[in-house]
Every structure is written in C-alpha cells, then in structure tokens.
Amino acid sequence: MTDIQRHDTNTRMSQMVEHGQTIYLAGQVGTPGASVAQQTQDCLDKVDALLARAGSDKTRILQTTIWLADMADFAEMNAVWDAWVPEGHAPARACGEAKLAAPEYTVEVIVIAAKA
C-alpha cells in the first residue's frame, strides 16, 4: 500500500491528495459569474467538504493561497474569509492577483492541512 492517496482524480489533476498526515487540496473555485463574496463562500464550502472527507477540518489548515482575479476585491473576499476562519486557527496565508482559468472566476483557494 502506498502512503499517497489521490481522490477525485482525472488525467489532469486530483482534487485532494493525502500524504502521511498532510492533506493537499487543488485550487477550489466558486460558481462562475457569482459575486466575489459568493464565490469565496463556495470555495470555502468545498474546502470544508474535502477536509471532512479526509478526517480533518478548517482548524487544521496549515497554509492557504488565495488568488483573486482583481485585488480590488480583497476586502470583499476577506469579509467572508474572516467570518469563516475559526478564532485562534488562522493559517499561514498568501493572497495575490492572477488571471484565473476563466474570466467568470474571481476567487481560487488552495489549502494544505494536517489530518486530525
């Protein structure tokens, strides 16, 4: 048995990879064309669901990278993020601007977490 487990894998990528006690999530995106706040919430809901499948949760997130299509949306994204992150469990985080896979996407969230 390998110590690497890949989940929801296709020819291009896996949505989640587990290695030892570490969980790596692919970039999560929200509903195309929705508001920045809604796309952020969609991303975080997907993160919650994937971490739960791996036996973890948002209190175990080690690092998060957030890509915004436009840094002008930073405050709107942060309002959702700040309400979601449990007090005392903020991960190391980076946020930058990038051209995302399609113009309808405004937010992408990438997470590395520890197993519970």
What does pTM read for this prediction? Answer: 0.96
Asked whether residue 100 carries a pLDDT value surpassing 80, the answer given is yes
At residue 86, the pLDDT reads 97
Asked whether residue 37 carries a pLDDT value surpassing 80, the answer given is yes
pLDDT digits (tens, 9 = 90+) for 2-35: 699 999 999 999 999 999 999 999 999 999 999 9
Domain ranges of the chain: 4-114
At residue 116, the pLDDT reads 85
Are the C-beta atoms of residues 39 and 30 closer than 8 Å to each other? yes
Single-letter code of the amino acid located at 41: Q
Q: Distance between CA atoms of 98 and 70, rounded to whole angstroms?
A: 7
Burial of 88-105, coded b for 16+ CB within 10 Å and e otherwise, reads eeebeeebeeeebeeeeb
Q: Does domain 4-114 have CATH number 3.30.1330.40?
A: yes
pLDDT digits (tens, 9 = 90+) for 45-95: 999 999 999 999 999 999 999 999 999 999 999 999 999 999 999 999 999
Asked whether residue 1 carries a pLDDT value surpassing 70, the answer given is no
Q: Distance between CA atoms of 59 and 35, rounded to whole angstroms?
A: 26
